[in-house]
Amino acid sequence: MTQKIALVTGAARGIGLATSKLFIEQGWKVAMIDRDGDELTQATSAMTDGKAFIFDVSVPQQVDQMIDDVLSEFGRIDAVINNAGVADFLPVEETSFATWRRIMETNLDGVFLVSQAAIPALKETKGAIVNIGSISGLRASTLRVAYGTSKAAVIHMTKQQAAELGEYGIRANCVCPGPVKTKLAMAVHSTDIISAYLDAMPLGRYGTENEIAEVILFLCSDKASFVTGQTIATDGGFESTGVGLPALRK
Ligand SMILES: NC(=O)c1ccc[n+]([C@@H]2O[C@H](COP(=O)([O-])OP(=O)(O)OC[C@H]3O[C@@H](n4cnc5c(N)ncnc54)[C@H](O)[C@@H]3O)[C@@H](O)[C@H]2O)c1
């Protein structure tokens, strides 16, 4: 059997680390990308099938070098998981252009750059792209003008990628997590935000990193061979519900 290779960005911790571990469990080798060299080195120190590549996905020259290095190491790429992301929750009027750009650089530019640089390798393998959006890209809320807009753009970019790359056998899908207790989420989820989430979600709890990773794995697997251009909210039902859920609970 051919050894499959996944490239996971933002792999040093959180959803990216859980995804890397799940792919490895399933027999893949993983190119684990992160700009936080210390955390990535620590995360990969005991791994044999996950290799660290310290790069920033928002810098075009670094992305080109990253793809070259991954191909020199592994010779192929079967799946690209664009997971690296940053968040900042601020009112529209207080969101500086510098903040806006900082969010867009990683969440939007990074997805564009990494996917584009990986296209020649993905053509060879008829591989898959999974972009990580967010419930914040599906439903607007307060304080997310930059973050939510970046994620809504990622959802649309996924459809653009699916439309153009399908003729090469490349599939592109988007996973939109609901709240998961990672470092990113805990830095921006106040106590009020946490209880608002719990109230608004049919399953009434935060998700785990592994629950998101399982959906990503499915989309990269042959089981999803006819699935492309789709967005899957992995969010405890948050996206599907409107107002009134707490009042309807017994
Ligand atoms: N945790 C949640 O509740 C939640 C909800 C919806 C969507 N998401 C999305 O899931 C993804 C993963 O988030 P997480 O919660 O695991 O966050 P996290 O902060 O735990 O991990 C993100 C990782 O990405 C890395 N990273 C950030 N910018 C980078 C860049 N430019 N280049 C390379 N690496 C970079 C960080 O160093 C970090 O290791 C993000 O795209 C996030 O927006 C998370």
In a domain, 215, yes or no: yes
Query: Residue 240 has what DSSP assignment?
Result: T
Mutate to test the pocket of ligand 1, among 182, 190, 231 (most ligand atoms within 8 A of CB): 182
Q: Which domain holds residue 66?
A: 5-179+208-236
- Taking only the tens of pLDDT, the chain with its 250 residues reads 799 999 999 999 999 999 999 999 999 999 999 999 999 999 999 999 999 999 999 999 999 999 999 999 999 999 999 999 999 999 999 999 999 999 999 999 999 999 999 999 999 999 999 999 999 999 999 999 999 999 999 999 999 999 999 999 999 999 999 999 999 999 989 899 899 889 989 999 999 999 999 999 999 999 999 999 999 999 999 999 977 788 888 7
Question: pTM of the entire structure?
Answer: 0.98
With H, G, I as helix, E, B as strand and everything else as coil, classify residue 67: helix
- Residue tagged 């060879």 (tokens): 124
Mutate to test the pocket of ligand 1, among 57, 65, 88, 184 (most ligand atoms within 8 A of CB): 184
Position in ligand 1 atom list of the atom nearest CA 18: 16
Q: Which atom belonging to ligand 1 lies closest to the Cα atom of 39?
A: 39
In a domain, 138, yes or no: yes
Q: Is residue 194 part of a domain?
A: no
Tell me the C-alpha to C-alpha distance, in Å, between residue 242 and each of 106, 178, 201.
31, 15, 10
Q: Which residues line ligand 1 (CB under 6 A)?
A: 9-10, 12-16, 34-36, 39, 56-58, 83-87, 106, 110, 132, 134-135, 177, 179-180, 182-185
Residue closest via CA to ligand 1's atom 42 equals 85
What secondary structure letter does DSSP report for 51? E
| Joined tokens for residue 40 | 């990535």
Give me ligand 1 centre to Cα 141, in Å: 19
Structure tokens at 182: 């990672």
Helix, strand or coil, per DSSP, at residue 97: helix
Neighbouring CB atoms inside 10 A of 183's CB total: 10
State the pLDDT at residue 246: 82
* Ligand 1 atom closest to the CA of 82, numbered from 1: 41
CATH code of the domain in which 141 resides:
3.40.50.720
- The CA 123 to ligand 1 mean position distance, Å, reads 27
Given a contact cutoff of 8 angstroms between Cβ atoms, the answer to whether 80 and 129 are in contact is yes
Whether 147 is catalytic: yes
What is the CA(55)–ligand 1 centre distance, in A?
Answer: 14
Quick check: is 95 in a domain? yes
The pLDDT value recorded for residue 245 is 84
Specify the ligand 1 atom closest to the Cα of 207: 3
185 part of a folded domain: no
Residue with tokens 């998981």: 81
Domain presence at residue 243? no
Which atom of ligand 1 is least distant from the CA of 16?
Answer: 16
Answer whether residue 202 is part of any domain. Answer: no
Residue type, 186: M
Q: Give the CA dihedral 12, 158, 111, 123, nearest 10 degrees.
A: 90
Torsion from C-alpha of 64, 134, 206, 219, nearest 10 degrees: -60
d(CA 120, CA 209): 30
Which among 7, 8, 15, 190 is the best mutation to test ligand 1's pocket, defined by most ligand atoms within 8 Å of the CB?
15
Q: Number of structural domains, the chain?
A: 1
Q: Does the residue 247 lie in any domain? A: no
Q: Give nearest CA residue, ligand 1 atom 36.
A: 10
Model pLDDT, residue 100: 98
